Chains A and B, each alone.
Chain A
Amino acid sequence: MAHKDDLGRWGEEIAAEYLVTEGYSIIDRRWRCPRGEIDLIVQRNGTLAFVEVKTRRTLKFGHPLEAITPAKFSRLRVLAGEWCQSALRPVGLVRVDAIGIVGDGRNVHSLDHRTGLIA
């Protein structure tokens, strides 16, 4: 597995730990369908959140959240819809979140959680 995928996997772990400490319960992880993958699906107070996690080592090439382009974001929304269809149960309120992590694979330099994203 490539170096960058290790970092991404590590970032997802950090994000999941963070969300649990924030009181979210984890519904699904790295859910895949032919169109793509959702990193984390979590729930708190009846609201379902689809979370995209981005991890970078440095800020030299911009903030990790800048990597979520409008195209990527709209794909995330489509994936969220796909997941709801496959869930076969009422899902209630839904939103899309993003978590940007700057860290080297051992230490977290910063973690940004943006909730309820719009285009």
Chain B
Amino acid sequence: MSIGRTRAIALAGVSGTVVDVEVDIASGLPAIVLVGLPDASLGEAKDRVRSAITNSGFVVPPNRVTVNLSPASLPKQGSSFDLGIALAVLAGAGVAPPESVSQCIHIGELALDGRVRPVSGVLPAVVAARDRGATVVMVPRGNQAEAELVPDIRVLAVTSLRHAVALHGADIEIPDVEPLFAAESVQSFGTDRDLSDVVGQPEVVESLIVAAAGGHHTFMLGSPGAGKTMLAERLVDLLPDLTNDAALEVTSIASLAQLASLDALVTRPPFEAPHHTATAVSIIGGGSGLIRPGAVSRASRGILFLDEAPEFSPAVLDALRQPLESGTITIHRARQVAQFPAHVQLVLAANPCPCGNAGDPNAECTCTPDRRRRYLGRLSGPIVDRVDIRIPVKRVARARLLDNSERRTTTAEAQARIIGAREIAHDRWGQTRPASAELRSGRFRLDRRAIAPLDAALDRGALSMRGYDRAIRIAWTVADLDGVVSPTLDHVGRALYLRQGVTT
């Protein structure tokens, strides 16, 4: 009877647990028995491991091989345990040096020919390994760049099982095989779009800059073809580069969702634009077996753009309320709980009515008033109330389209102003924004004359209490963009317009 052991990582959301892989080679009919709550793809590991070991020129012991993944009560998914299982079997069989194998954490899927395939989620797995005190981790060659993003841990990249055994110190030659890489995915970031492409809508551009500077949730209302989607895409370009922590968070999510073959930290904020037929699970996250991040997590630290927002199922929109408030999303399933980040800036876009022509002086709306009211009414009050900035987007007149004298803001100019405004806000407020009460009546209370328009609107009933608080925050952002110490009457007026410019 002989024992082989090593370690691997089980991921739940973006947090990982170190799993002990134990192999017992005992008398009995030749079989590989896998215990420890494997799911279907992990259960198939025994067939992949058997073929990979044989085709690497080693022998699977013709005995009863029991593989235990401990803690046995933790559900485990996916193919990333293959490499660890194979090495533990070979260590138990006396082929691979047991000491070296047991101290290393192994992540990787095996191909039938013995090569090692890249897997998703390597970045969060390596972070988890390091946080739990591991000093060396073995990953597929195709994930090497991603694993090396994590500091303070030694990364061994392997192309094949034989290569892995050799790196552990066995006296065998390393075969010269072609390493396997994940399929390249097309990156849509960093394209040639620019804010100056937006023609004839300077006030809309200015509103976008305020939204980007303050990270305010935004709602754009306008006729079809007025440029709502174009504006939303340019909004993400206005956001500053991600900080190191945010970049690691975004890259971890991208790695889990396998949005791309990662070889560098994602440094630009993500942009997610799910279609309006999206299900709650696709937006929030979930799925059977492995819990996957949804659009709200993939867009974390960036922008979640919901085009044709009234067409979304009300249940889907309402499911966003809690993550918008807390910045995280916790998904509960019977057997496990996963937590994902959800720090999104929400951007909604809608037509004013089903036909899209309401409010357009040059086109006639064919919708009945009731139909029009119902259409926007599908956006539930709580969601709309969380939106700070409402921007009316009108069709551009031909005269303005042809006007070459117009001075258009470029993305670079706007971004410089936004970074400046964010720095001012950061110097004043630090990492966390003050509570609304503090803005209303505490240290940051505005001058009585400056706040008069808001008070009047509140008295008239034109503004809710939440709207009042939101308008104050917008006023601060507008003032920061102007480089002014405290918002003046002018800034508050502009804030009120941004908040109330659209009536829904």
Does the CB pair A66–B28 fall under 8 Å?
no
Query: Quick check: is A19 within 8 A (CB to CB) of the other chain?
Result: no
Q: Which residues of A contact B62 (CB under 8 A)?
A: 62-63, 65-66, 100, 112
Query: Quick check: is B277 within 8 A (CB to CB) of the other chain?
Result: no
Does the CB pair B27–A66 fall under 8 Å?
no
- Give A61-119 interface residues, CB cut-off 8 Å to B: 62-63, 65-66, 68, 70, 73, 98, 100, 112, 114-115, 117-118
Interface size on A, residues (CB 8 A): 14
For the complex, what is the distance from the CA of A104 to the CA of B29, rounded to whole Å?
22
Closest B residue by C-beta to A70: B31
Does the CB pair B27–A98 fall under 8 Å?
no
Q: Which residues of B contact A70 (CB under 8 A)?
A: 31
6 other A-B residue contacts (CB within 8 Å) besides A65-B30, A68-B29, A114-B28: A62-B30, A62-B62, A63-B30, A66-B30, A114-B27, A117-B29
Does the CB pair A117–B30 fall under 8 Å?
no
| Interchain Cβ contacts within 8 Å, total number | 22
Q: Which residues of A contact B28 (CB under 8 A)?
A: 114, 117-118
Residue-wise, chain B 19-63 has the 8 Å CB interface mask toward A (1 for contact) of 000000001111100000000000000000000000000000010
Q: Which residues of B contact A114 (CB under 8 A)?
A: 27-29
Can you pick out 22 interface pairs between chain A and chain B where the beta carbons lie within 8 Å of each other?
A: A62-B30, A62-B62, A63-B30, A63-B62, A65-B29, A65-B30, A65-B62, A66-B30, A66-B62, A68-B29, A70-B31, A73-B29, A98-B29, A100-B62, A112-B62, A114-B27, A114-B28, A114-B29, A115-B27, A117-B28, A117-B29, A118-B28
Classify the interface of chain A: helix, strand, loop or mixed.
Answer: mixed
CB distance from B104 to the nearest CB of A (A): 29
B27, B29, B30, B62 — which one has the most chain A CB atoms within 10 A of its CB? B29
Closest B residue by C-beta to A64: B62
Q: Which residues of A contact B31 (CB under 8 A)?
A: 70
CB distance from A67 to the nearest CB of B (A): 9
Closest B residue by C-beta to A66: B30
Closest B residue by C-beta to A65: B30
Residue-wise, chain B 197-225 has the 8 Å CB interface mask toward A (1 for contact) of 00000000000000000000000000000
A70, A100, A114, A118 — which one has the most chain B CB atoms within 10 A of its CB? A114
Q: Which residues of B contact A112 (CB under 8 A)?
A: 62
CB distance from A35 to the nearest CB of B (A): 20
Q: Which residues of B contact A68 (CB under 8 A)?
A: 29
Closest 10 CB pairs of A and B: A63-B62, A66-B30, A65-B30, A68-B29, A114-B27, A117-B29, A65-B62, A63-B30, A65-B29, A117-B28
Closest B residue by C-beta to A68: B29
CB distance from B93 to the nearest CB of A (A): 13
